[in-house]
Amino acid sequence: MDKENVLAQFQEKAKNAAPIGGVIKFIIDDNSICIDGTGSENKILLEDMESDCTIIMTGSLMEDLKNGKVNPMMAVMTGKLKIKGDTGLAMKLQSFM
């Protein structure tokens, strides 16, 4: 999954989601995509910025999560998906998947 596809998907989902109340950074195959939900709407940015929560995974895992092939909790427990920082903020991402 390339970063342009991820960016487009997040932008589409962000339009309909309530602001998440923080900044979440995704590091997917060494590319950074941030969701800035500190304002009145979520903004999706292709930049590396300070975040309240950082989620690290591969592009193939992102695709498997999106398609329901992998359980997110199992991915965390097996170390395939790493979450650093505010895990409560990460839980708000269900509306983006």
Q: What mean pLDDT comes out for the span 61-78?
A: 93
Q: Can you give the CATH number for the domain in which 86 is found?
A: 3.30.1050.10
Q: What mean pLDDT comes out for the span 60-66?
A: 91
State residue 45's pLDDT score: 92
Q: d(Cα 21, Cα 6) in Å, to the nearest integer? A: 21
Domain that holds residue 11: 3-96
Q: Report the domain count for the chain.
A: 1
**80 band by pLDDT with thresholds 50, 70 and 90:** very high
Q: What mean pLDDT comes out for the span 37-49?
A: 93
Structure tokens at 37: 């939900």
**36 band by pLDDT with thresholds 50, 70 and 90:** very high
Q: Tell whether the model's pLDDT for residue 1 goes beyond 60.
A: no
